[in-house]
Amino acid sequence: MSLSSVPRSLRPNQASPSAGPPAGSPVVELNVGGELYTTTMGTLRKLPGTKLAEMFSSSAKPCMDAEGRFFIDRPGTYFGPILDYLRSERLPTHHIPEVYREAQFYAIKPLVKLLEDTPQIFGEQVARKQFLLRVPGYSENLELMVRLARAEAMAARRSPVLVCAVRTEEDAAHCADALRILEAEKRSVVKFGPWKAAPQVKDLLDCVKMDITAQGYQVYYEPYSGRTLRAKYFSYFYTFVFIWW
């Protein structure tokens, strides 16, 4: 079905023509991931170059649901703030990260830029993310921690994973002997660092906990206090504990 055929959902509201949309901007009904919205074609096409404007261009082949509404296979909960911005340039006040993700999908660049200036997105994209990009192998280490924890989960309520965090090259050299001792004992250690950025070891550990928790795991960390190592090494080693039940 092409837009030029004017399905039921595109016909102007004829119950009260004096209050209807202006000519050339018919009312449309949308089904966005199961959430229903009513707006105008003019609103959807308001910003040329966006994915919404492209979806509802005259040459597009829209996807329709069983009731003849336009269907968009995206989370419907966060489409409302997208419409509010297109209607009145009003910025969302809730679910900022989720709306930001949807604004990126729909390629609404002015909204994306405005959201990037909010504390939530600025802190994540500019501060935290840029720090983690300076930590070598960060994502790979997270995956390794999860694999180690799951390997230790058989018939256990908790899985400890030993982590070494060194901020500087000097710290890395200082704890090299400790790592050799643990390796000789066949202890698995996930090593983070060194990194060239201002955040301290605790900031790194908090990021690790945050990102593992975001994957759905329940985890906490505590300083390592095993008998294998001397006390002088304890500030470099931490135990992350995964809780399964």
Against a cut of 0.75, is the pTM above it?
A: no
Q: What ranges make up the beta strands (E) of 94-199? A: 158-165, 189-192
**Predicted confidence (pLDDT) per residue in 51-107, tens digit:** 999 999 888 788 899 999 999 999 999 999 999 999 999 999 999 999 999 999 999
In a domain, 73, yes or no: yes
What does the alpha-carbon distance between residue 150 and residue 156 come to, in Å, rounded to a whole number? 10
The continuous run of DSSP H or E covering 206 comes out as helix 201-214
**Predicted confidence (pLDDT) per residue in 91-109, tens digit:** 999 999 999 999 999 999 9
Helix/strand number for the chain, H first, E second: 11, 7
Provide the 8-state DSSP code for 16.
S
For helices 138-151 and 201-214, angle between their N-to-C axes, nearest 10 degrees: 60
In a domain, 14, yes or no: no
Collapsed DSSP state (helix, strand, coil) of residue 108: coil
In a domain, 77, yes or no: yes
Domain that holds residue 71: 27-117
In a domain, 9, yes or no: no
Whether residues 141 and 84 fall in one domain: no
183, two tokens: 């390796």
Q: Do residues 69 and 31 lie in contact, with contact meaning Cβ atoms separated by under 8 Å?
A: yes
Counted domains in the chain:
2
